[in-house]
Amino acid sequence: MTELLRATIFHTPRNPFQENSALEAISDGGLLIESGRVQACGNYAALRDTYPDVRTRDLRGGFLLPGFVDSHVHYPQLRILGGLGYSLFDWLEKYTLPEEVKFAAPDYAESVATEFTHALVSHGTTTALVFGAHFVPATAALFRAAENAGLRVISGLVISDRHLRPELHTTPEAAYYENKQLISCLHGKGKLLYAVTPRFALSS
């Protein structure tokens, strides 16, 4: 299916870290979409003239933006959002770690992975660096859900061998083997990228 979207467009077709005027705003913009991919972007009238037979979807009054990039988001903490009023370690002990233990159950992890990727898409995020889970099936579930949603995700198996709940611990040998297997299956598959993920200095 091909359609021409009409709205105000904001985007950065040039590198904003290298050019002062990288942001481009097109007040009456057009975005040509074919089979889910952007084929052309520019002035609506010019695109309408070039593609006279393509159906237009009029979105004036709204904005078209490129997908957002989230550089730090936690997959296994989706269902405990909003727990405020605790110190970091109290919050980890009371809420976070018990929730993360639940990801040992593949069905639970699969369900959260689907919710998590839907939440990213519904907020306009198309690329994310994701803090993953401590379990191989849960990690694989996240990558499957991201692939199904068409997202670019960078994530990996979370590694800890001390100072957490024992259910979340691994060994260096197991972590090496499991990461090697996951990298060979997932890294570079479509838009997916794998990141080796020690939890933090206290637990790895």
Higher pLDDT, 188 or 203: 188
Which of 64, 87, 110 is the last residue in one of the domains?
64
In this structure, the answer to whether residues 36 and 17 fall within a common structural domain is yes
Are 152 and 184 in the same domain? yes
Note the pLDDT of residue 145. Answer: 99
| Total count of domains within the chain | 2
16 pLDDT more than 90: no
DSSP 5-47: EEEEEEE-SS-TTT-TT--EEEEEEEEEEETTEEEEEEEHHHH
The residues that bridge with 38 in the sheet, in sequence order, are 33
The CATH number of whichever domain residue 51 belongs to comes to 2.30.40.10
Q: What is the mean pLDDT of residues 77-106?
A: 91
Q: How much is the pLDDT for 204?
A: 63
| Angle separating helix axes 172-186 and 136-149, nearest 10 degrees | 20
pLDDT in tens, 135-186: 999 999 999 999 999 999 999 999 999 888 999 999 999 999 999 999 999 9
Q: Does residue 203 surpass a pLDDT of 80?
A: no
The pLDDT tens digits for 109-142 are 999 999 999 999 999 999 999 999 999 999 999 9
pLDDT score of 40 more than 90: yes
Domain extent, residue 145, equals 68-203
Check pLDDT > 80 for residue 83.
no
